[in-house]
Structure formats: structure tokens, C-alpha cells
Structure 1
């Protein structure tokens, strides 16, 4: 898509053939949107040092260009010298900023005159500048590209000044309307061609539409399967009026291992113990965007968690994603919990995804017999909004609401209860300066149950690297939780990210009389090494001295 601007011819007349060596004084005559001081600065004239004749010629060209940019499209300059050639006077003609007069659009046949005029930012009798005209040319080009004319050319000309009113026209060459005959991809080694079409949402055999193509590229980026996705390029098709679309991309590494190691201790023991986690993720299975993940965690000495997950972005020809998860959890001598869930996701607009599913959770009491044996069946509902850009360090807004509603049945004695759980997460990352960004996140958790007090398997936890930093993992367990995270991120190098942080959390468990606020602060860094991304965070909680903080070390490595 190309746009051209053809300004009216403007002549700089120089009244003297003999150039003086140095000019010691500059005067200006005529109307100008700039003050004398501003024009001297544009030309480069200083009273103390004067200005050479060679520099004056270049300076006058700069002044004429600035007058054009300010909206004086028909401005002209004439130069006169004093008899002793030490003073110069610049006479400015048509140096006023005109208002817009009649704006004529010619050459358009597919799009109507009234519609095109309504898309212009300049209105008759309104202000006028070069920037506004260039902006309108770009707007007209995009409108034609959105309607199947990617090669339309827009030019501006026929300037006519009447008093302070400037008439001009846009001359349009629409060109042929393009049809996308074939969509080709390059750089895909593992990903199948049909999977790329499904992921992008693009299809051949349709009229060219710029917005749809840009959305398709954004979907490929957000899939997380590719390191880079280049701007689509049009090439000549096999038939007259047809075009081929080429999208070049670079695949990422689809197998990922994440390991973390920490040190934990509670207040009742002198010695602590090592905690850890291991995640193995396999993306783009079969070249069709399917994913599998296995996770193991040990947060406390007697606790462990194991889960496995499989997801596919679509089922057969349906635009419906499916995720299946099974998990097993051991909580010391209190209980053992096993669960299985199935979740279906359906796009609900450009940035939204809705989900519905079902889950079964079984709890078996441990040796302590604090919790009775029970089974719970949940219906699952979710709504996700994603406005992030899909980069390695995403920028933009993201939010997700998850609701669980379930019926729980105890075996001995036989009792049935209702349990509802709500989770809300939101985050915003925005660049504030070069290599600097601000990240803010908010999280809410709540459980509503007819069982009093609410047992531990139904409650939520807070504390640790993934929530409230500066505290032990899952240090706070309650019916209602809320926490926020604020980070200032600085990247002196693309392989290094530094971030101080501040976290604030709230917990409330009315049946057990627990309620309070906690804050944490500290700093960390994330560095790309030969082993992968290594992260280290040091956080301080309430009452902690500088040497009493919590340390989290993690490794994220591709293989």
C-alpha cells in the first residue's frame, strides 16, 4: 500500500548573484507563523557570529520546509542584501497558515465520495497542516486496503489559495481488487500447514482484507509457538486479479523444562528443608499445536503434588479447544486429594475466550482423621480477556475469571453440601521509557460453602514466589484472599531483567478468627545463560531484617 504527496511548486528567488562572505544582520518581511527568533534558529543565524553565504542558502531551504510543515504550502522566499552586503532581508510571501477550503476526491469508483470524506480528519474551514494531510492519505490507503485494494495509490495536489483558504484534491488510483488465491508459510519445520491456517484463522479464496490478515498474524504470535512472525507479504498469483499471501515465521523450541529450588522453615522447627518443583512441557505435539505438561511440587517436608495436563486448540473441525487435567496431592497426615477435570474453551470475540467444564475431586483422610472421606463434583466456568501483544515479555492487559460450583458428599456420616469458589486475576504491563516497564497485577480468591468451618481442601492459599513474596509458600490459608503485585522492570540488556517489587496481601477466615494484611518487598533479576533463564528473587516480609528474607531460585530451560 503506497501513498504519495505532490506539493505545489515553490520557488526560492535570490535577488543577488554575488554572495557576501558573512552576514551580520537578518531581517524578515511578510507574514509568518514563526517569530524572528524562531526563524533565526531555523536558519542558523546568530547575532554574535553572523552567518556565511553558503550556510544561508541551506538555512533558507530549511525555513521553507518548516513553513510547508506548518501548513504554509504555497509559501515563497525572496532574499535581498543591503548595499554593503552585510545585512540580508528575507521577504516571505503566502506565509500564512490557511484554513481548509474545498477538498475534492477524484478517481474513486468502489467507495463513495461521502464515505471517504467522512474518514478525513481535515474539515472545510478547519485547521490545516502537512501532518494532517499525510495522516489523511494514510487513512484513505488503509480504508482501501480493508476493502480489497492493497495497491491503491493516493496523491494530493491541485493546491489553490484564495485569501486564507486553501483548496486541494486527493487523486485516487484504485487499481484491481485483490483476491487471496493461496496462503503460504515459510520457516515451519514441525508445524503442519493446516495447523497454521487453523491457528491464524485465515483462509484462501477470499477478498484481501488488511484487518483480517493483521488479526491472523496476531493469533500466530499469541499462540506462543513461534519466536517471530513476519509481516505478511503479497506476491503475484497464478490468475489475473489474484494474489498469494506469504507469511514467514521462525519456530521456537517446543520442549521445556522448568526447575525451582527453595529453602523452607516453619516457626516450630529449628531446621528447615529443601523445597522444589519440576515442570516438563511439550508443545506443538504432532505439529498441530497440542500441548502436554507434567508437574511435580514439594512445598513442605511431608507434602507433594503431581499433575498431568493435555490440551488441543481444536476438536475435529470445531473451533473448540479442550484441556484434560489429572492431579494427586498429599498433605502430610491430614488428607490425600485426587482430581480430574475436563475444560472446553470457545473464542468469544477477538480478545475473549469463554470456558465450560466439569471436575471430580476425591478426598481421603490421612492418619490424623481431621477430614472425612468425601467426593465433590464441580461445574466450571471461565471468561478470559487477553489484550497482550504475545511477545516473549508480553505487554498489555490480561484478565481471567474462574467460577466453580459443586456438590460435595461425605460418606460417613452421609451428608451433602454445596461449595462455590471464585478466582479473579488481572495484570497490566506497560512500557514507560526505553528498556523500562511497569507491571501491576491483582488477584482475588473466595470460597462460599455451607460447611462451617470450611475445610482445608476447599480453601485458598497465599504466600511465596507466585503470590505474596517475602513469605513462605502457602503461609496464609483462608476463605478469602486478595493480593497485588507491583514491579518496575529495567532491561539493561536483552539477556538481563532487573526488578524491585512491592506486594500487598489480605486474608480472612471468619470461622477460625483469622484476618489481616501483609506486605512484602524486595528485588530480583532474570538472566539468560547457557543453561536457560535463571531467576533469583529476594523478598522481605513483615518484621524481617535485611538478613531474614526469603530466597527463590528458578531455572527455565528449553531442550
Structure 2
């Protein structure tokens, strides 16, 4: 918050004179502008004031000019500066303006204080300000630091800063009051996929625990287990260290293992997240992946081991995390992998050394329609570029389920290129609650092995899903339910996903 004092002294005589003049001449223009009390570079102060000779005299223009002058002073160590319009004199159709500037003391930052933090360590919050004691006061840097604090997930609210002035030392203490958020989450989801024909229905499940502010240090730890169908399960572990090596970058690592119908995939990676701008971030990653087919998969795919390096760029221009009402989110990724394939007892790969590339693009747009009504559309796409005629199952991209194409089983469609769109009409019930209708569309392109003389065949799949969902805040946490219908489904044959997310 900027500490500003604006004093505008306009005499009753001046107002009466201008009123009489307006009857004879509808336009009064600015003549000369006088500055008193200015010790800084006067040319720069006049540029900030921006009241040029010959422009129409306008109260709003004067107020904005004075505000810019105060901003100019605040950026140069004068947070208590004041500007007053001391006199206005009419000379024909021109007005001579006089401004008096009280600069006040030029101060430095003497102390940094945090209030309201019960869990988070003060130094964790203060380092995000990126301001040090002894520096000259600069409102631009303070505003930038406050925006950094607002984007921390473990802070629910950041109040405007306060200043405490020490006249003996000519310093100010910058005091920041915050309200901490419940940064830890435990998410449990149970889904049911009804049977089709002679195939029995089955349950799916997810348990996801995330600690977003471990011991008040800002460190993040995540552990997730997921069961997508009777033959598919997954575990995932992640750790993230903020401000690694004393710089505003986050370093971390992940480990995961996927059990699928015909193979087991193990992956480990390390990454480095870095800021580009306040809303634009990047990630560099390096990982190792291994896929081992089981007895059934050994007929269809080789053993493989890969080193993968990647770059991801993200932009978040929305107005919130949970229920955005406006703005756009963008992300794009590119990975390069060097893979070594090994033959199994029943399968010989067409390529032993493979250079694979993966690309991804995601766009999410939020627009407020009316009060508590939001339109959302998401566009997503991914592709794998490989010299292999048929891509192994472990390298394919998968589509279907609660996080992509709703109304279909998790990872129901696999291919080398996928794309999907999610369209929602949302009615917001609270900061974390909403009901919505959705319409999803998905596309999948794949090359599959045909008969020996035919080679690979190309398969394209288009699908549409639709349904409704709800997210409600309760004492148990955020309860969510999605009901989706796919092609050919009756009203009682939809896919149901029910979840509870508890924060602590």
C-alpha cells in the first residue's frame, strides 16, 4: 500500500472565478506551471506531472498528475511526500498553476516484520519480498514483493503493508500482516465404472496426500496412490525445496511406478523451477525411465530404458487458484528422450536406439458472465514424435477419465497424438464451492501393428462426453462428484467419480 498524502487547496474565490469565466469561455487552458519545494530533478518531476501548456484545465488531469508525482517520490525514498495545489491564477484564457511539494524525509528500510504467521517461519515469508534492510525505500520493489506474497499457496490473505517511521535514524519498519492458509491436503476419490455386457463393473480409487508447507519452511512433499482399473495402479512421490542454493528457484525430485495390464514402468526425475516474470515461470527437468513388459506384454513391446530432458513454460493470468472467475492459464512443454530398446523372448524391436520427442500444450480460459456465473473452456494437446513404426505401450499418450475426457474409463484411448477440450458452465456457490455442467470432446490418433504383410495401420478416434458435477465445502473437506456419460451410455450407465479433499 502506498502512503500518500494529497492536499488540494482551492480557494472559494478561485472556484467562483472559474464559474464566472466558464459562462464566457467554455475552455480554460493550462498556462505556466510553477513548482516550489522540489529538490529532485525538476525536469523529471514535470514529466511525471504531465500538465502541458495549452491542454484543457481539468480537475481529474490535475489529480492524476499529482498522484504520479507522489509515485515518483515514493520510488526514490520519499514515502511521506505531499503535493498541494497552492494557487491558480487566471490570465486571459490561460490558468497559471502553482504546486507546493513537501518532500519529507528520505528514508531507508530499517526493519522487516511479519505478523499473523503461526506456522510459517518469518524468514520464509520475508525472503519472498526480496527486500533487505539498509536499502533505500522504493515503492516499486515493495509492490512487487507484495505480489510475490499473494501468490504463495500457503498464505490465504496478505494485508497491505504498514510503515513505522523512526525519525532519529530516518528509517522505516515495513510491517506485513498475513493470514495463513491450510496448506496441507488429503484427497480421497472413489469411482465406479459399471459393467458392459458380460464385463463386470469395478471400482477405481485415489489417495493423494500433499504437504504444502512442511514445518513452516515452504517445502512441499506429495505421496499419491491410484487404482484406475483391476490391472492398473500407480504410486508417485515428490519433494520440492524452495529457494534452492539461496536463489529464488525451486529444486526437487520425483519417483513413480505404474503397473499396467502388460508392463511396469518406473521413472525418476529431478527438476528446477525458475521465475521469468511475476506470472511466467519455467521448469527444467532431467529424468530416467524404464519399462519392463510382463509375460503378456513381452509379445508386444521391448524392454526399454530412457534418459529424458525437458523444458516446461507456464503462465497464470487468472484471479485465483480454486474458483477463478477470469483470466487465462497457459503451459507448453517439450521433452527429448534417448531410449535404448532390448528384445524380449517374443519381440524384437524395429529400432534399438531411439530419439523420441514429446510435446504438450494446454490453454485454460475463464470468463465471468454474470454474478457467480463463469464460463470455462480448456484446450489440450500432446504428441510423440518417434521413428518407430509402432510406439510401445509405455510411450503412448492416454486419454479418458476424470482429468481429460469425462464419461469414459481412465486411459481408455491411447495413441501418439491426442487432443481434448473441456467446456463448463459454472455456478459459484462460494470461494471453494460450485456446480457445473460440462461437455468434453476428445481425439486420439494411433498407429497399430496389423498383419505382417500390411504393416502398421492408422486409427483415429473421436469421442464426446457430457454430464454434471459439484464441489461443496463441508466439515469433512471439499466434497466433489462428477457424473459423465459417453457415447452409447444410457442415463444409468454413466461414470461416477466421488472425492473428498481435506485441508489441514
TM-score above 0.5: yes
Distance between the aligned counterparts of 2:357 and 2:444, measured in 1? 18
Instruction: Structure 1: give runs of 5+ residues left out of the alignment.
Output: 13-67, 78-91
Task: Indicate yes or no: 2:348 matched with 1:403.
Answer: no
Q: Normalised by the size of structure 2, how large is the TM-score?
A: 0.88
What aligned pairs does 1:398-437 form with structure 2 within 5 A after superposition? Answer: 398-412=329-343, 415-437=352-374
**Post-superposition shift, 1:336?**
0.6
Pairing partner for 2:290 from 362, 371, 375:
362
In structure 1, C-alpha distance between the alignment counterparts of 2:33 and 2:184, rounded to whole Å? 58
Structure 1 stretch 491-500 or stretch 141-150: which is displaced more? Answer: 491-500
Instruction: Name the residue aligned to 2:454.
Output: none
Question: Residue 270 of structure 2 corresponds to which residue in structure 1?
Answer: 342
CA distance in 1, matches of 2:29, 2:48: 18
* Alpha-carbon distance between aligned partners in 1 of 2:112 and 2:198, rounded to the nearest angstrom: 64
What's 1:27 paired with? none
CA distance in 2, matches of 1:317, 1:426: 33
Q: Which residue of 1 aligns with 2:453?
A: none
**In 1: Cα distance, 2:366 partner to 2:446 partner:** 32
Distance 1:463 1:136 in 2: 56
Distance 1:238 1:278, change over 3 A: farther
Shift in Å at residue 206 of structure 1?
0.7
Is residue 376 from structure 1 mapped to residue 313 from structure 2 by the alignment?
no
In the alignment, is the contact (CA less than 8 A) between 1:256 and 1:557 conserved in 2? yes
Instruction: Give the drift of 1:234.
Output: 0.7
Q: Deviations over 1:202-221 (max 9, x none)?
A: 32221111121122122122
Aligned to 1:106: 36
Counterpart Cα distance in 2 of 1:421 and 1:266: 34
Q: 1:306 aligns with which of 198, 223, 235?
A: 235
Task: State the 1:392 CA deviation.
Answer: 4.5
CA contact (8 A) 2:9 2:84 kept: no
Which residue is equivalent to 2:281?
353
Equivalence map 1:466-545=2 (5 Å): 466-494=403-431, 496-511=433-448, 512-545=457-490
Over 6 Å off, 4+ runs: none
1:15-42 deviation line (CA, Å, top 9, x unaligned) = xxxxxxxxxxxxxxxxxxxxxxxxxxxx
Q: Higher mean Cα deviation, 291-300 or 520-529? A: 520-529
Secondary structure of 2:38's aligned partner:
coil
Q: How many residues align?
A: 485
Give the gaps of 5 or more residues in structure 2.
449-456
Deviation at 1:312, TM superposition (A): 0.6
Matching residue of 1:6: 8
Shift of 1:446: 0.8
Larger relative contact order (CA 8 Å, sep ≥ 6):
2
Query: Quick check: 1:10–1:75 contact (8 Å CA) kept in 2?
Result: no
Deviation at 1:157, TM superposition (A): 4.0
The CA deviation at 1:455 is 1.5
CA–CA distance in structure 2, aligned partners of residues 377 and 286 of structure 1: 34
Is the partner of 2:216 in helix, strand or coil? coil
Q: Do the aligned residues in 1 keep the contact of 2:7 with 2:82 (CA within 8 Å)?
A: no
CA contact (8 A) 2:194 2:494 kept: no
CA drift of 1:481 comes to: 1.5
Give me the whole-angstrom Cα distance separating, in 2, the residues matched to 1:224 and 1:486: 26
Give 1:49's aligned residue. none
1:120-159 alignment, distance < 5 Å: 120=49, 122-159=51-88
List per-residue Cα deviations over 1:502-547 (Å, max 9, x = no partner): 3333222245422243333333222111111112223344454544
Following the alignment from structure 2 to structure 1, what is the Cα–Cα distance between the partners of residues 412 and 160?
A: 47
Q: Which residue of 1 aligns with 2:122?
A: 193
Q: Which residue of 2 is the match for residue 551 of structure 1?
A: 496
Aligned to 2:316: 386
Deviation at 1:294, TM superposition (A): 0.4
Cα distance in 2 between the residues matched to 1:387 and 1:478: 31
Q: How far apart in 2 are the matches of 1:384 and 1:435?
A: 27
Larger Rg: 1
Alignment match, 1:75: 19
Q: 2:175 aligns with which of 243, 246, 249?
A: 246
Change (3 A) 1:237 1:402: farther
What does residue 86 of structure 1 align with?
none
With structure 1 as the length reference, what TM-score do the two structures score? 0.80
- Mapped to 2, the partners of 1:411 and 1:419 lie a distance apart of 16
What secondary structure sits across from 1:474 in the alignment?
Answer: coil
- Residues 309 and 73 from structure 1, CA distance in 2 versus in 1: closer, same or farther, beyond 3 angstroms? farther
Q: 1:229 to 1:171 in 2, by over 3 A?
A: same
Give the C-alpha shift of residue 150 in structure 1: 1.2
Question: Over aligned residue pairs, what C-alpha RMSD do you find?
Answer: 2.7
CA distance 1:157–1:463, shift in 2 (3 Å): farther
The Cα of 1:76 is off from its aligned counterpart by: 5.5
Secondary structure at the aligned position of 1:513 is classed as strand
Question: 1:326: which partner in 2?
Answer: 255
What does residue range 57-68 of structure 1 map to in structure 2 within 5 Å?
A: none
